[in-house]
Chain A
Amino acid sequence: MKSLPLAKGRLAPVLDAAGRRALAQRMLDHVLGTLRQAGLPSIRVASGAGDDSDLNRDVTEAARTVQAEGATDLLLVMADLPYLSVPDIEALIEAGRKSPVVIAEAKDGGTNALLLRPPTVLEFTFATQRPSARLHVERARSVGIEPAIVRRPGLSRDIDTPADLAQLVSDHPVYHVFRHVA
């Protein structure tokens, strides 16, 4: 779960910590529900703890853990994707037939999901300032893999800014409790 960017991110002007936690929880519930509906065999939440949480370190640890437990594929999905739908997951899995590395690009060039076979095939290069999707492409190529890129609204529309949140509030009644910032 991408807790750190939400906790310290660009939503601070409009939501206090309690509000940001409530928003993050609601989006996480949606993502988990979508993954369940998609019928994935095992679902885990990778959550960084405390102020020293580092996304790359946390997901690296998660990938090693599931691989040690015998997983052959890892689908890593960010938790702030309120528009995520089952067909988005199916599109990732479909793309995974063509390449062992599938990258779902965020609207701002970030990475919102990765399908990895095996789970530790890629060194993670999530970054807050630079567009990490391109970095993940370069990293895959550096180990001889041409990755598949997936661009779909449900996978690209993460919630970074007050404007993203305002749009979400008007799109989805369940997020109406945040309408005072819309």
Chain B
Amino acid sequence: MSQDNRSVLALAGGVGGAKLAFGLSAVLPAEALTVAVNTADDFEHLGLSISPDLDTVMYTLAGVANPETGWGRRDESWNTMAALEQLGGETWFRLGDKDLATHIERTRRLRAGETLTTVTRDLAQRLGVKCAIVPMTDNPVRTVVTSDRGDLAFQDWFVRLRCEPAVERVRFTGADKARANPVLLDMAGLRGVIFCPSNPFVSVAPILAIPGVRTALQRTTTPRVAVTPIVRGQAIKGPAAKMLAELGHDVSALGVARYYKGLIDGFVLDQTDAGLKASIEDLGIKVLVADTMMRTDEDKRRLAVAALEFVDALARTLQHS
């Protein structure tokens, strides 16, 4: 990789975003990468403060994520959940023994008055993460699903109720009053901004909903690139696809590009969706067609390098335009 020490800002949700963030962390100097993560899926459960996307990014970058699920920790044990079930406790949200330690320590420190930013930085450092992982905000923002069974917290709808209630609306309560992490408000001097392949409507949308973030993205002259979360028109599968269809979103790479219009200069499209290239270019967005499947660590590095080269190429054209 070129010796460009200017920093890259990556926006990420959970598993897909974490994979590209891992690739970026593997090819960039530690001080040249900041990953800003969605916290709207955060919730309080069993008295603990749980931040699913932050933990997925942290575990992935630390190399301790469960390779079978993409979230949670590898080599995990489930003694606490088994004992909790015996006691009649709630076990629908699965928290492994090691994972629980993260939530216990985070909760303790938040209660002592520390910010989520500080706690996240320290936990990630302890796990060996070299680059910066920051929550999108230190204020509580919560995804609320308005359904045919009333308003539900995201994890209640997603896990406890198995995505069964039909979704009428999704909103991010608290977003309008939240203060964005400063990295999301001043993008001057950055090498580029990369939208990682996370769900745009439930993972990236909360980040964009915090006052000032959308404007900062719209106004910056720093090249902005989104990597498609959709491969073969169906990477957002299962419950997410059901929810997005119920909300009237176009679950395709073109739908994602339309959603990001005005916020991005470039879009990395999967080679299997190459037929959409012209339609996305018609939106005024440059397109890079690449293999975006990230099965191995080498895949993640390769896609990260492609996205960074695309950022640098866009920087040259933006300067000349």
On whether the beta carbons of A14 and B94 are closer than 8 Å, the reply is: yes
Complex CA distance for A16 and B72, rounded to whole angstroms = 14
On whether the beta carbons of A13 and B96 are closer than 8 Å, the reply is: yes
Given contacts A177-B162, A179-B163, A180-B158, contact A13 B239 (CB under 8 A): no
Interface stretch of the complex, out of B75-83, B100-108, B115-123: B75-83
- Bitwise, A135-171 to B at CB < 8 A (1) or not (0) is 0000000000000000000000000011100100110
Q: Select which of B72, B85, B94, B239 is within 8 A of A182 by beta carbon.
A: B239
On whether the beta carbons of A182 and B237 are closer than 8 Å, the reply is: yes
- Cβ contacts under 8 Å, B85 to chain A: 16-18
- The A contact surface, by secondary structure, is helix
On whether the beta carbons of A180 and B81 are closer than 8 Å, the reply is: no
Complex CA distance for A10 and B239, rounded to whole angstroms = 22
**Chain A: which residue is nearest B90 at the CB level?**
A16
On whether the beta carbons of A170 and B237 are closer than 8 Å, the reply is: yes
Q: Select which of B68, B82, B159 is within 8 A of A180 by beta carbon.
A: B159
Interface check B69, CB cutoff 8 A = yes
On whether the beta carbons of B238 and A162 are closer than 8 Å, the reply is: no
**Chain A: which residue is nearest B159 at the CB level?**
A180
List the count of A-B residue pairs having beta carbons below 8 Å apart.
Answer: 52
CB within 8 Å of A: which B48-107 residues: 66, 68-69, 72, 76, 78, 81-82, 85, 91-92, 94, 96
Given contacts A162-B69, A180-B159, A180-B163, contact A16 B239 (CB under 8 A): no
Complex CA distance for A163 and B158, rounded to whole angstroms = 18
- Bitwise, A6-42 to B at CB < 8 A (1) or not (0) is 0010101111111100000000000000000000000
- Cβ contacts under 8 Å, B78 to chain A: 8, 12
- Cβ contacts under 8 Å, A14 to chain B: 69, 94
On whether the beta carbons of A182 and B82 are closer than 8 Å, the reply is: no
On whether the beta carbons of B238 and A17 are closer than 8 Å, the reply is: no
Complex CA distance for A12 and B80, rounded to whole angstroms = 12
Q: Which of under 10, 10 to 19, 20 to 34, or 35 or more describes the interface residues of A? A: 20 to 34
On whether the beta carbons of B238 and A166 are closer than 8 Å, the reply is: yes
What total of chain B residues lie within 8 Å of the partner, measured CB to CB?
Answer: 20
- Cβ contacts under 8 Å, A18 to chain B: 85, 91
Complex CA distance for A137 and B35, rounded to whole angstroms = 52
B220 → chain A, closest Cβ, in Å?
Answer: 37
- Cβ contacts under 8 Å, B92 to chain A: 16, 19
On whether the beta carbons of B238 and A169 are closer than 8 Å, the reply is: yes
**Chain B: which residue is nearest A161 at the CB level?**
B68
On whether the beta carbons of B69 and A179 are closer than 8 Å, the reply is: no
- Cβ contacts under 8 Å, A19 to chain B: 92
B160 → chain A, closest Cβ, in Å?
Answer: 9
Residue with the highest number of chain B CB atoms closer than 10 Å, among A8, A162, A163, A169: A162
Complex CA distance for A40 and B81, rounded to whole angstroms = 40
Given contacts A14-B94, A16-B94, A17-B82, contact A163 B68 (CB under 8 A): yes
Residue with the highest number of chain A CB atoms closer than 10 Å, among B69, B91, B163, B239: B69
Complex CA distance for A15 and B85, rounded to whole angstroms = 12
- Cβ contacts under 8 Å, A166 to chain B: 238
- Cβ contacts under 8 Å, A161 to chain B: 68
Complex CA distance for A144 and B55, rounded to whole angstroms = 55
A164 → chain B, closest Cβ, in Å?
Answer: 10
B236 → chain A, closest Cβ, in Å?
Answer: 12
- Cβ contacts under 8 Å, B162 to chain A: 177-180
- Cβ contacts under 8 Å, B68 to chain A: 10, 13, 161-163
Q: Select which of B66, B81, B82, B239 is within 8 A of A179 by beta carbon.
A: B239
Given contacts A17-B91, A180-B158, contact A12 B163 (CB under 8 A): no
Complex CA distance for A175 and B238, rounded to whole angstroms = 12
On whether the beta carbons of A13 and B163 are closer than 8 Å, the reply is: no
Complex CA distance for A177 and B163, rounded to whole angstroms = 9
Interface pairs (8), CB distance under 8 Å: A13-B68, A13-B69, A13-B72, A13-B96, A16-B94, A18-B91, A162-B69, A179-B239
Ordered nearest first, which 6 A-B pairs have the shortest CB separation? A16-B91, A182-B238, A180-B162, A12-B78, A180-B163, A13-B72
